[in-house]
Amino acid sequence: MKRTLLTLLLLAAAALPAAADGGMWLPSLIGTRIKEMRAKGFRLTAEDIYSINRASMKDAVVLFDGGCTGELVSAEGLLLTNHHCGYDAIQRHSSVEHDYLTHGFWARSRAGELPNEGLNVRFLVRMEEVTDRIAAGETADAIVAAACAEGTGYKASVEQMYYGNQQFLFVYEQFDDVRLVAAPPSSIGKFGGDTDNWIWPRHTGDFSVFRIYAGPDNKPAAYSPQNVPYRPKRHFAVSTRGVREGDFTMIYGFPGNTQQYILSDVVRYICETSDPMKIDIRTGRLDIIAAAQASDPALRIRYAARHARIANAWKKWQGEVLGLTRRGIAGRKARDEERFVRETAAAGFEGYDTLLAELKEEFARIRPYYYTHELLSETLRTLRFAYSDAERRDALFARCEPVERDLYRQAFREYDARCTELEPIAAFREGVARCGTAEAYADRIFRLVLDDPAHAEIEALRKGIAAQLDAIVGALGTRSLRNCNSARMNELYARYVAGIRRLAALRGEEGDLFPDANLTLRVAYGAVAGYEYADGEYHRPLTTVDGIIAKDNPAIYDYDIPQALRDLHATKEYGRWAVEVDGRRTVPVCFLASNHTTGGNSGSPVLNGRGELVGINFDRTWRSTMSDIAFDPAICRNIAVDIRYVLLVIDRIGGAGYLIDEMTLVR
Ligand code: ARG
Ligand code: GLU
């Protein structure tokens, strides 16, 4: 009964105007959202989220390793992020004798915490709008240089919001001594593997633990044994009270890239051409790799990371196409565009009458270039045309050789078959003609790369690829080849979004718009929420340890759990982490919520209405990934690991209760 009511409420929410849904808000402007956040269950203030005068929540959030998010959970610099964000570090410390990926890692003392060269975290010191200063003639470079000089380890950048309608300076404090403290075995941290990736119901303990070290003055310092644990201005209290469906949640992190304002034509290109092409080509690559992995345990390990990387976006794009298509986003955007033309005319705004036509025309012009760029990225540019002597000698490489050769053949074949929108690379075309087929040409180049790496044919092909790329960059007028953009598209989008904002301002709704994600710090808020997965199939938002046991299968690599977890489940000795769910004694594992997130939000703190940590974000559901283009409240859900499962694993699997003693637990 309760659930029916909730479903009805959710359906009612879905009927609200699109502007009120989703959102990745700039922390310094969060004041404009606070009323709505409080109506939804947030109990704190805008100053608690972001303040430059006193410690605030932003001081407990970091950009982790340049592409993930992490959060501080102790006064001694202890940090949580995802297992998949710490993966590189964990892998680098692993060897056959100390296989931390497989068995997990638990530093038993501060001295046992492992330094990681090249790994850094960044705190946001402050952000401020500099649009006017730049308009008045200051350069972004000068603004950045001045900000960097403000403190030890300071980094800064000026970032564009709304296609350059606004510019913001971001000042960061960067710490370079970040040590690995703990990681669960992959059978927990990556439980479900690629099978469950982007999928709900989920049972992954996707977390790892690091510690930030600083110089004796608490300032950033290069790695040194003399460094001491960093004392952060703020850390999050960890709530063991747990979450229930409908509870307010907030995510504070670094979303990487969204494209909310793109043209309907671009959405159609993504759904009908770009994503399907990339999915098809990757299916071929994954088939080759998976067959090799199935044939040989050494190859399974050797290709594990590569397979995971290729499969991640491959699966995401499939969900994105499904979501965008089923929810009719291209059509919705086309209607928005018509309304834009009507409303700007009615409002008497000048300069917008031909804008959309110009955008469409420019996109039609750049489409073949953009398509060819994407094709190159998925084919010839995935190949290595040079191997080190050591790699060639490497006994393992001999076993990889047939796999690598097949990947060459596949890439050459796909480029040959699909390069129809621009003239194919001349050297490539000649090579195919000379050898008879693309595959024969692939074989030849592959052999040369191994046996005669200085051969002119390799160089000719490499130069050809570079030249085609140069031609594409030239036609697009920009080196940042993403989001189907060009320098001209960017200018036109800037005008388009300026118009959208003016119209919103007329309605008093300017505050409902937010700039696309660009790896700057953002706040998203929503609620713990299930959703209707299919007709008559409602997905509840919480999973438990019992679900892990139900999936457990030693014969399936992705579902083979550690014996310790089986034992724990058998005895039900969950200690203080136990809860009752449907009358069962168990521990929560993952939950779903309606926060607007994207890549980069991995590892982000999921906070309750009191600003306490209740989970760590790590994924979205499959079709949710449409939210990079349009957030649909009916289906878009982020996936978090419940903090109580993290605590259970640290405590009962890792035997690392001393880490929990450092945290501030609240109920
Ligand atoms: N889908 C998540 C993300 O985009 C998790 C990826 C890592 N996990 C995996 N099974 N490959 O990063
Ligand atoms: N797993 C993603 C990441 O690494 C987050 C999932 C998403 O795209 O929402 O950032």
Q: Cβ(84) to ligand 1 under 6 A?
A: yes
Distance 604 CA to ligand 2 centre (A): 10
Q: What is the mean pLDDT of residues 386-403?
A: 85
C-alpha–C-alpha distance, residues 232 and 123, integer Å: 10
Listed in sequence order, the residues at least 6 apart from 648 whose beta carbon sits closer than 8 Å to its beta carbon are 545, 568, 574, 577, 587
Mean pLDDT, the chain, integer: 94
Residues 275, 278: Cα–Cα separation, whole Å: 5
With a 6 A CB cut-off, is 602 part of the ligand 2 pocket?
Answer: yes
Alpha-carbon Rg for the chain, nearest whole angstrom, is 26
In 3-state terms, the chain is what percent helix, strand and coil (to 5)?
50, 20, 35
Angle between helices 355-378 and 395-418 (to 10 degrees): 140
The finding on whether 337 has its CB within 6 A of some atom of ligand 1 is no
Q: How far apart are CA 160 and CA 306, in angstroms?
A: 33
Please tell me the predicted confidence (pLDDT) of residue 340: 96
Contacts of 617 (CB under 8 A, 6+ apart): 69, 251, 253, 595, 597, 601, 602, 603, 604, 605, 606, 638, 639, 640
Angle at 549 between CA 561 and CA 247, to 5 degrees: 110
- Cα–Cα dist 25/252, whole Å: 10
CA of 432 to the centre of ligand 2 (A): 40
Look at residue 230 and tell me whether its pLDDT is greater than 90.
Answer: yes
Span 486-490, mean pLDDT? 97
Band of residue 214 on the pLDDT scale cut at 50, 70, 90 = very high
Residues with Cβ < 8 Å from 145, sequence gap 6 or more? none
Q: Of all atoms in ligand 1, which is nearest to the CA of residue 311? A: 11
Atom 6 (ligand 1) nearest CA:
312
Nearest Cα neighbor of 662 from 229, 256, 187, 50 is 229
Ligand 1 geometric centre to CA of 245 (Å): 24
CA nearest to 601, candidates 583, 585, 622, 619: 619
Give pLDDT tens digits for 129-152: 999 999 999 999 999 999 999 999
To the query of whether residue 235 is one of the catalytic residues in this protein, the response is no
601 in contact with ligand 2, CB cutoff 6 A: yes
Cβ 541 vs Cβ 591: under 8 Å? yes
* Range in 53-67, 263-277, 392-406 the model is least confident about: 392-406
pLDDT for residue 16 is more than 50: no
CA gap 335, 313 in Å, rounded: 29
Choosing from 186, 274, 602, 624, which is the catalytic residue? 602
Looking at this protein, which amino acid is placed at residue 120?
N
CA-312 nearest atom, ligand 1: 11
Q: Does the pLDDT value for residue 116 go beyond 70? A: yes
Spacing, Cα 505 to ligand 2 middle (Å): 32
Look up residue 60 and give its two tokens.
């407990």
Residue 265 known to be catalytic: no
| Mean per-residue pLDDT, 210-223 | 98
Residue 195, ligand 1, Cβ within 6 A: no
Q: Select from 618, 629, 631 the residue to mutate for testing ligand 2; criterion: most ligand atoms less than 8 Å from CB.
A: 618
Contacts of 513 (CB under 8 A, 6+ apart): 19, 162, 500, 501, 504
Task: Choose the catalytic residue: 84, 203, 235, 596.
Answer: 84
The answer, yes or no, to whether residue 18 has pLDDT greater than 70, is no
> Could you give the dihedral angle defined by the CA atoms of residues 590, 596, 598 and 601, in that order, rounded to the nearest 10 degrees?
-60
Q: Is 194 in the pocket of ligand 1 (CB under 6 A)?
A: yes
Return the pLDDT at 390.
86
Does 197 contact ligand 1 (Cβ within 6 A)? yes
List phi, psi (to 5°) of 164: 95, 0
> Which of 602, 621, 627 is the pocket-test mutation for ligand 1 (most atoms within 8 Å of CB)?
602
DSSP readout, 445-511? HHHHHHH-TT-HHHHHHHHHHHHHHHHHHHHHT-S---TT--HHHHHHHHHHHHHHHHHHHHTT-GG
Top mutation candidate among 204, 207, 598 for ligand 2, by most atoms within 8 Å of CB: 598
The Cα 491–Cα 362 span in angstroms is 11
Tell me which amino acid residue 294 is: A
Measured by CA distance, the residue closest to atom 3 of ligand 1 is 619
Q: What is the pLDDT of residue 557?
A: 87
Q: What pLDDT is attached to residue 97? A: 84
Ligand 1 pocket, 198 CB below 6 A? yes
| pLDDT higher than threshold 90 for residue 416 | yes
Angle, nearest 10°, between helix axes 329-346 and 487-506? 70
Instruction: Single out the residue of 616, 501, 514, 630 nearest to residue 25, CA to CA.
Output: 514
Alpha-carbon distance 192 to 548, whole Å? 9
Q: What pLDDT score was predicted for residue 312?
A: 96
Predicted TM-score (pTM) of the model is: 0.94
pLDDT at 38: 97
Name the residue type at position 66: G
Cβ neighbour number for residue 181 with a 10 Å cutoff: 24
Ligand in nearest proximity to the CA of 190: 1
Q: Tens digit of pLDDT for each residue in 370-383? A: 999 999 999 999 99
For residue 196, which atom of ligand 1 is closest to its CA?
A: 10
Give me ligand 1 centre to Cα 473, in Å. 30
Q: Is 64 in the pocket of ligand 1 (CB under 6 A)?
A: no
Preceding peptide of 229 cis, ω within 30°: no
**How far apart are the CA of 403 and the centre of ligand 2, in A?**
29
Q: Does pLDDT of 419 surpass 70?
A: yes
Q: What's the gap in Å between 114 CA and the centre of ligand 1?
A: 24
Residues 438-453: pLDDT tens digits? Answer: 999 999 999 999 999 9
Q: What is the mean pLDDT of residues 261-286?
A: 98
The stretch 407-427 carries a mean pLDDT of: 98
Q: Is the CB of 28 under 6 A from ligand 2?
A: no
d(C-alpha 258, C-alpha 237), whole Å: 30
For ligand 2, is residue 598 a contact (CB within 6 Å)?
yes
The residue written with tokens 């990736």 in the block is 197
Active site residue 94: no
Residue 573 CA, ligand 1 centroid: distance in Å: 31
* Distance separating alpha carbons of residues 571 and 256, to the nearest angstrom: 43
Residues shown for the chain = 667
Q: Tell me the two tokens of residue 297.
A: 């345990």
Separation CA 295–CA 304 (nearest Å): 13
The answer to whether 642 and 238 have CB atoms below 8 angstroms apart is: no
193 in contact with ligand 1, CB cutoff 6 A:
yes
Give nearest CA residue, ligand 1 atom 2.
619
> Which residue in 176, 194, 206, 628 is the catalytic one?
206
pLDDT of residue 397: 81
- Report the nearest-CA residue for atom 9 of ligand 2: 598
